[in-house]
Amino acid sequence: MQQAAVISALLVSLALFSATPLRAENAPEPLRNDDLATWSFVWENDYFADTDRNYTNGVRISYLSGLKKPEGVSSFFAYDILGAHDDAGVRRGFAIGHSIFTPEDTAATAPLPDQHPYAGWLYGEYSVLVQQRQRVHQITLQAGVVGPAAQGEWVQNNWHDLIDGDPVNGWDNQIGNEPGFTLSYDRQFRALHEFGDGGFGADITPSAGVTLGNVDTRVRGGFTLRIGNDLYANPYGPPRVRPALTGIGSFSAADRFSWYFFAGVNGAAVAHNIFLDGSLFNDSDPNLDKNVLVGEVQAGIALQFRRAQIAYTYVTRTKEFETQTSAQRFGAVSLSVKF
């Protein structure tokens, strides 16, 4: 049943991805006066679901420019790689992120071969987005380090000390140091319908993408449904931590207040996941029988007040490896500010 649902999400999304772009009522051009940058902070943690296992924490701080004419490397990616037209809006982004993974039994000091390996992932990120009417193309480069150099043990145990939590004892068994790289391409487009003159409406945004790298290699597809007001000015939803189904994180500062509810489904076919498969170059790393097909369901709410937006997302992710005892559940909180 799990595999059938994931395959269905992938096939539907990829079919929409390759089809003619969806029609949108009153689809506006990119907001030409949106020259303000967006700074975002995202925190994902399974504490919100009262668990402490597998993907247990993710933090990402990002900068996304306003719509400006690209220069240098950004111009190359926008025009030569992503095929931006003259009527396109282009944004470039930078981010730094950190993710932590642990087994279910964090009291044990011995290796736990049937549970998720300990791992930390510290990375920097560069992205270019091309926004054309109701479509977005995005290319993202991530580079960093997996292993003790990522300081996962230091972050987690100091956080547990701060909140008076139990110590995590098995970090001596974590995945070894290795430079990490990923290259991702994503495409999103949406159909928007407004009801009446009050700005209330609904939209659906199919998305598809591919990631290649020694940290993560996968093909993914999904869609997000939103219901709320002034959706035309707040496209594509709040930011998340990859490999999640994510919005671009930008919004309009013109409104005094807007809101929307959202729900989404994402499916992925995973060829390589360093946090489960171990290093491509080091046979001594832990290695689990991963599930090639992984699905994710998310739902939440976003509120925008002038130049600030806050969002909460609750996520359920299907089992990522054969001996995983249950689906992964966690929450994501994001705060975005424009200036």
Residue 250's domain comprises 2-338
Report the CATH number that the domain containing residue 296 is assigned in CATH: 2.40.128.140
Neighbouring-strand partners of residue 39: 63, 337
Distance CA 233, CA 27 (A): 10
pLDDT of residue 27: 42
Region of 44 on the Ramachandran plot (φ > 0 left; ψ -120 to 50 alpha; else beta) = beta
pLDDT of residue 158: 94
Report the half-sphere exposure of 218 (CA within 13 A, side-chain side).
Answer: 26
Q: 221-242: per-residue pLDDT in tens?
A: 999 999 999 887 777 889 999 9
Largest CA distance in the chain: 63
pLDDT tens string 312-337: 999 999 999 999 999 999 999 999 99
Which region holds residue 54: left if phi is over 0, alpha if psi is between -120 and 50, else beta? left
Q: What does the H/E/C string look like for 199-221?
A: CEEEEEEEEEEEEEECCEEEEEE
3-state secondary structure of 41: strand
**Mean pLDDT, 10 residues at a time, the chain of 339 residues:** 52 48 45 79 93 94 91 90 85 97 95 95 96 86 97 95 90 94 94 78 93 97 93 85 84 84 96 92 80 96 94 96 95 95
- CB environment 188-197: b (16+ within 10 A), e (fewer): bbbbbebeee
Q: How far apart are CA 137 and CA 177, in angstroms?
A: 33
Percent of the chain as helix, strand, coil, to the nearest 5: 15, 45, 40
C-alpha span between 276 and 321 (Å, rounded): 8
Half-sphere exposure of 299 (CA within 13 A, CB side): 2
Considering the entire predicted model, what is its pTM? Answer: 0.90
The tally of domains found in the chain comes to 1
